[in-house]
Structure 1
Amino acid sequence: MAVVHQSCVGYVAEPFASLVAGYPGDDVYPQADFRTEWGPVFHRGRLDGSARVLVLGQDPATHESISRRILVGEAGQRVQGLLAKVGVHTAYVMVNVYLYSVFGQAAGSRHVKNEAIAEYRHRWLDALLVGTDVTAVLALGDLAAKAYERWARTQPDAAAALHVAAIRHPTYAEGSARASGRPLAETTAAQLANWNEHLDDLAAHVAAEGPTDLTPYAAGWGPTDLAPIPEVDLPAGAPGWWRDVAAWATRQGDDKQTKRATISVVVPKGARTWPAL
């Protein structure tokens, strides 16, 4: 029997069809701060009304630029594992603070109050949070928390009905270790302790699709803490290794501009199933 594949149907229904038809470009996202040349990356997850959790991330990275869906790299795998802990496997939708990849981390902070960026983002959040069945918002990092708070002031009634879990970004540990010089093990433990603080409340405000596992995270990532991305989240025909934990896309180059222009995609060794010649 042939394998029956699932895939994301894309942006066929309103208001999403109009949102992607009229997305902002470098007139709103200045190229000095955003990699607009790689195009916008809009979302991942359910747009059909079945979502119960909204995940608000920051910006697309290398894997996302290729797969055209957000949070599919290691950060996405960590978030997928967190959602699985509270029994959510596909009933979610994810959007980012920024449509385009940030060029330099300081650029994200510079545009926190950008009105034009916020206006378009609010249209997405209105579509996903006003009058829908979403009951919880998972905000990944400070920029996401600030973006959500800004939207909440425009829709106070809808926001009042939502549980908000503002957690440390899934790559906080690596970024904090680089910036502070602290050991990665120490910053990882701090990140996972923060996630543990939100675990029970998040589970209490979400209708689980299946079994939950509220066992707290340990001080380091365990073998089941990361989860693959579901096939149904990606465009039709996406290869299976796009959804695996193994990294497959990196920026390469001898200088900043070459790295900005170059993403190297390599099939992971575990996915090289073709016969040797």
Structure 2
Amino acid sequence: MVEFDRGPTARLAGLLAQVPGPPDASAFWADWGPVFYRGRLDGSARVLVVASDPGPTERIAGRSLVGDAGQRVQGFLGKLGLTRSYVCLNAWAYAVHPSRALAMRDRLDDAEQREWRNAVYDQATGDALQAIVVLGFMAREAVRLWTPRPDVPLVDALHPSNPEEDEVLESWRAAVARLRAIVTPDDDGDNTGPTYGTVFAESDYAAIPRRDLPFGAPTFLGDDAWVRALPGDAHNAVSRPRPDDEHTLVWKAPR
């Protein structure tokens, strides 16, 4: 059977369509529009992952945490034995300019933003939830503002794109150890393997499952192993070229 993401229910789609616009358009890549989620929206998720905002690969896929950072997160979920029972959301549905991130963290508490975001978090989770993972300061603030939130353990870890790789690895190593004692693996998952070494290895990444992506997505979308294998320090097949990054994306396919 060909697997693909069939999208949100009509009820949740109606809520997502009510997304507030950015509180300050100059602080966001607003012209590209919002990106909302990746994973299960039917209440079966055992882990909710909250990150900061979508990047260029996420805009191409129309799903959250799909690029290099998302493939690291998928590897993280795999170490918990989760192959499908998760949902990934963001603090912001719009991509934030990094130079404005701290200022926009304070805007997460704008009433319109907070109420809509909390309603999405509420509808996207259910009784199966066993843990919430927040990745970075933006996610931490968004979840702090989620009241009342489910009474499950909250695990705070560094964002996968944090440049201090050794600190990220230490943070994720501790998070995996804690979550393995909390989260029930999927039937086809394994939570007994190694965690992390001193650098991110290719084995710490995982391709985004087809079930998380829309029907018709190219087979290489969500799997940038071929990019990481090239000489240089490129990690993503999709980029925002300057100076026209507000209106142009460059997407490369493997040869």
Does the pair score TM above 0.5?
Answer: yes
Aligned-partner Cα distance in 2 for 1:109–1:53: 23
Q: Residue type of the partner of 2:209?
A: P
Rg: which structure is higher?
A: 1
Unaligned runs of 5+ residues in structure 2 are 228-235
Q: Which TM-score applies when normalising by structure 2?
A: 0.89
Q: Between Structure 1 and Structure 2, which shows a larger proportion of helix residues?
A: 1
Does the Cα contact within 8 Å between 1:43 and 1:93 map onto a contact in 2? yes
Q: Quick one: which of 205, 215, 220 aligns to 1:241?
A: 220
- DSSP-derived class of the 2:145 partner: helix
Q: Which residue of 2 aligns with 1:163?
A: 153
Aligned-partner Cα distance in 1 for 2:132–2:193: 18
Q: Which shows bigger deviation, 80-89 or 96-105?
A: 96-105
Q: Which shows bigger deviation, 69-78 or 114-123?
A: 114-123
Q: Quick one: which of 234, 240, 243 aligns to 1:251?
A: 240
**1:110 Cα deviation after fit:** 4.2
Alignment of 1:80-119 (within 5 A): 80-107=74-101, 108-119=104-115
Aligned-partner Cα distance in 2 for 1:214–1:188: 21
Does the Cα contact within 8 Å between 1:80 and 1:226 map onto a contact in 2? yes
Aligned-partner Cα distance in 2 for 1:195–1:12: 32
Alignment of 1:1-277 (within 5 A): 4-14=1-11, 16-26=12-22, 29-107=23-101, 108-129=104-125, 131-151=126-146, 154-155=147-148, 158-159=149-150, 161-172=151-162, 174=163, 187-209=164-186, 210-245=189-224, 246=227, 247-253=236-242, 255=243, 258-269=244-255
CA-atom RMSD in angstroms = 1.6
Q: 4+ runs of 1 displaced by more than 4 Å?
A: none
Does the Cα contact within 8 Å between 1:71 and 1:77 map onto a contact in 2? yes
Does the Cα contact within 8 Å between 1:46 and 1:90 map onto a contact in 2? yes
Q: Residue type of the partner of 1:168?
A: L
Aligned-partner Cα distance in 2 for 1:99–1:126: 16
Q: How many residues align?
A: 241
Identity of aligned residues (%): 34
**1:49 Cα deviation after fit:** 2.0
Aligned-partner Cα distance in 2 for 1:49–1:91: 9
Unaligned runs of 5+ residues in structure 1 are 175-186, 270-277
Q: Which residue of 1 aligns with 2:230?
A: none
Deviations 1:135-155 (A, max 9, x none): 11110101111111111xx21
